[in-house]
Amino acid sequence: MPRGDKSAYTSKQKRMAEHIEEGYEDRGVGRDEAERRAWATVNKETGGGKKSGSGRGKKTNTSSSRKGGRIGGRASASRSKSARSASARKAAATRKRRAAGSSRKRSSASSSRKRASSRTARKSSGRRRRATKRSRSR
């Protein structure tokens, strides 16, 4: 296997590297350097290529991703208060809209369940009435 060959890596590791690389490029790192750093991060976190062979798994260590996330979080600190609150309002509106959509789905399902249960209740109460009439007539 030549140096730089990625055939020993799983598809998940390849996706991780691609995502990490995009993050570095967004921060202004060059393409080659971003790729190098991304694969170094994947190797550090997952212990290198993981393909083939049962029982060869190693635990992952995501400390480098946490560090990158903390660094990325500093960007919001440099934004103005109005910009941060505007994005917070937008996020709240999105959550509210999505919650309303999911509750509508839930309410329609629960109302159909209620209708079905009331039908069975009516049937059983009719049976009870008939049974009591029969016992009285005897």
> Would you say residue 134 has pLDDT above 90?
no
Whole-model pTM? 0.46
Question: How far is it, in rounded angstroms, from Cα 102 to Cα 126?
Answer: 37
Mean pLDDT of the chain: 79
Question: Looking at this protein, which amino acid is placed at residue 115?
Answer: R
Predicted pLDDT at 58? 74
Let me know: does 47 contact 55? Beta carbons within 8 Å.
Answer: no
pLDDT digit string (tens) for 24-67? Answer: 898 888 999 999 999 999 988 888 887 766 666 677 888 877 77
Predicted pLDDT at 37? 93
Mean pLDDT computed over 85-96:
93
Residue 78 exposed, middle or buried by CB count within 10 Å (0-12, 13-18, 19+): exposed
Selected residue with higher pLDDT from 51 and 87: 87
Structure token digits, residue 79: 């934004």
> Would you say residue 76 has pLDDT above 70?
yes
30-34: which pairs have CB atoms within 8 A and are 24 or more residues apart? none
- Of 67, 1, 3, 6, the C-alpha closest to 39 is 6
Predicted pLDDT at 68? 72
Q: Which residue shows structure tokens 């290198």? A: 48
| Helix ranges restricted to H, the chain | 11-26, 31-46, 63-78, 81-137
Residue ranges of domains in the chain: 10-49, 79-138
Predicted pLDDT at 72? 67
Residue 55, CB-side half-sphere exposure with 13 Å CA sphere: 0
